[in-house]
Amino acid sequence: MVAVLELLAQEAPPSAFDALVHDARAAGAPPEHLARLSRARDLGLRVQALFQHREQREAGLNALVETARDLTLPYTLHALLKVITRRARLLLHVDMSYISFPAENGDAGGDFYVHTADGQTTALTEGMPVPGASGLTSDVQGGSAPFWTPDYLSDERIAHSEVIDGVVRAEGLRAVLAVPLRHADSFLGVLYCADRKVRHFTPDEIALMTSLADLAAVAIEKSRTLNTVQAEIAELELAVSAAKSGLAEALRGQDAQARLTGLLLEGGDLHALAQLAGEELEAAVLVVGPDGATLAPAGERPGAEPEVLARAALDAHHRHRPAHLPDGTWVAPVAAGAEDLGTLVVRPSGSDGIDQRLLAQTARTAAVMQLMLRSTTIAESQIRDAFFDDLLTVPHGQTEQLQERARRLSIDLDRPHVVVVARPEGGAQGRALIWASSYTYRMGGLRSIRDGVISLLLPGEDAGAAAKAVSDALTPLLDHPVTVGAAGPFTGLEPVRPAFQEAMRCLDALAALDCHGTTASARDLGFLGVLLGDVRDVSGFIEDAIGPVLAYDAQRFTQLVPTLEAYFDAGGSPTYAAEALHVHPNTVSRRLERITELLGPDWQKPAQTLEIQLALRLQRVRGALRPYDAGPTAPPPAHRPLS
């Protein structure tokens, strides 16, 4: 017995125990001694096996503890799965290990895919789809317990799949152990261990792999939670950073708005606003009036063409928001409601863009300044407008008093002026009156309103052009048609009231002709202007219609005027006209060619033909009534009736 203990103490191999019994039998030991010795040998071998099993378990537990220690380190999910599969191979001394997770769009019992593998010899394993209803996955997931097979391909208990079997053949796998990865009530996936030879896994190996799977599930869940928390922290950091940037931008905007408000309260003008906006926006700033005139520049003028800026300004006012040009220039509308008060042109100095809120605030401040300036202007213009009312109502005997008032108000009526009257066909009359005050201030004129008609006294030499300018400016503002009549030009105080009356008759004529929303002056109306005009400027009408022909006959003693009369009397036939004049038809043709050179190629069109015939008749009547007239274009006496 002592010999058996000595062998145990020496950790002798099993063959040494068998040799001890064999030597005793060879020495002729009695049967009782051999039986006791055999019994001692068996107990020694059993004790030795227990020691070896305990050592194996201790080694496995130590490896498991080291694995647990490794799993506590911070890993990404991919690195963590690599550690788990490597540890699984080392713990069970298998050829290959891998982990499968449910597909992202899968549910319970759905498909899986191999996420990470270790020990594989082909590129087929990682990413391989694993049907949830086949292989070991269905048994593990359904039973929530480990499942193993000593030889996968020949095991009829398994629901085989061509996909899985193909990879098993490619890798040369035989024995496979599958352990579920569970955390609390959540099923995370499956941990597999596989050997390339037939192998029966022991309960200790299965228990060891189950313990590893439990640790791995905790680590995987922790890694996923950590990744989620880190992603949320990153989002929060981005949100905090954006909030800080937004707060800083809001504070800058608030400070800039305070400075803009202070500029208003201190009575600053558009030049100061442009300078301040240029500093805040780090840009060149230009304030442009509704007529396109530069009101306040700050910095270099934008390089865009004036036509491009004008189109951008129209677009900005139409859309009620800033317009962006390809060269980086911003064009913001300066407006009060639908009224165009100007445009703000901003060219940033850098490529970082521009604070659009500050741009809009600057445009609003410019609009307030324009309104304040206009309010002051309106207050000052009330005295000037009262003077215009007096010009239209005070008898001419008080001319000297009116001239003195004109000098005090710096109104120079020695310059040519025109009278324009406008009747809005709808829309807000108050808005039209405010516009008229602003318009006459810009143009250096006067305004009045009575019976819904706006009357304007404006510097200018072309009544028709002035009427069109008023219509173009007022119609978009009211969004309704505006009918406009005009008269002039004239100089001095006395012609103001007659010109106003003539402009009103033009306005009434447009209404009678059902030409609402149009513009005209007495000259634009042609012979109707002669009938409507208070001064009855027959000479002016004749001069406009056939003046070049009269002058040509007077200078060269030709017969162009009689030829014209004969041509019209003959119904436009040169042959009949030649018979009436007793000349050759070629002579008439040459004279008509000369008339075309003098009057233009359109003189035979119906509208101009009518005025030419009327002018010829008026000239003939004047010649009969004034046989001693000094010349063909001498003006008639004032206020001579036409009939």
Q: How far is CA 510 from CA 224, 454, 472, 523, in A?
A: 84, 16, 17, 13
pTM of the model: 0.38
**Number of other CB atoms surrounding residue 294 within 10 Å:** 11
Average pLDDT over residues 181-189: 82
Closest CA to 446 of 454, 277, 263: 454
Does the pLDDT of residue 625 top 60, yes or no? no
**Confidence at residue 375, expressed as pLDDT on a 0 to 100 scale:** 65
Mean pLDDT taken over the chain = 78
Of the given ranges (51-60, 171-180, 222-231, 424-433), which has the lowest mean pLDDT?
51-60
pLDDT digits (tens, 9 = 90+) for 287-302: 877 767 777 777 777 6
Q: Which two tokens stand for residue 365?
A: 């401040």
**What gap in Å lies between CA 415 and CA 459, rounded to an integer?**
7
Does the pLDDT of residue 586 top 80, yes or no? yes
Does the pLDDT of residue 109 top 60, yes or no? no
**What gap in Å lies between CA 322 and CA 342, rounded to an integer?**
13
pLDDT digits (tens, 9 = 90+) for 587-613: 989 999 998 888 888 888 887 888 888
363 or 561, which is more confident: 561
By the 10 Å C-beta count (0-12 exposed, 13-18 middle, 19+ buried), 4 is classed as buried
pLDDT digits (tens, 9 = 90+) for 445-496: 888 887 788 899 999 999 889 999 988 888 887 778 889 999 889 888 888 8
* pLDDT confidence bin for 631, thresholds 50/70/90: very low
**What gap in Å lies between CA 130 and CA 110, rounded to an integer?**
9
Does the pLDDT of residue 209 top 80, yes or no? yes
Distance, C-alpha 394 to centroid of its chain: 58
Q: Which two tokens stand for residue 528?
A: 């109707």
**Confidence at residue 511, expressed as pLDDT on a 0 to 100 scale:** 79
**Confidence at residue 526, expressed as pLDDT on a 0 to 100 scale:** 61
- Report H helices in 14-100: 14-26, 31-71, 77-92
**Confidence at residue 228, expressed as pLDDT on a 0 to 100 scale:** 85
**Confidence at residue 634, expressed as pLDDT on a 0 to 100 scale:** 39
**Confidence at residue 107, expressed as pLDDT on a 0 to 100 scale:** 47
pLDDT digits (tens, 9 = 90+) for 36-95: 777 777 777 777 667 666 766 666 666 666 766 666 666 777 888 888 888 888 888 899
Query: What domains are defined for the chain?
Result: 2-54 (no CATH), 72-228 (3.30.450.40), 267-375 (3.30.450.40), 401-520 (3.30.70.270), 538-625 (no CATH)
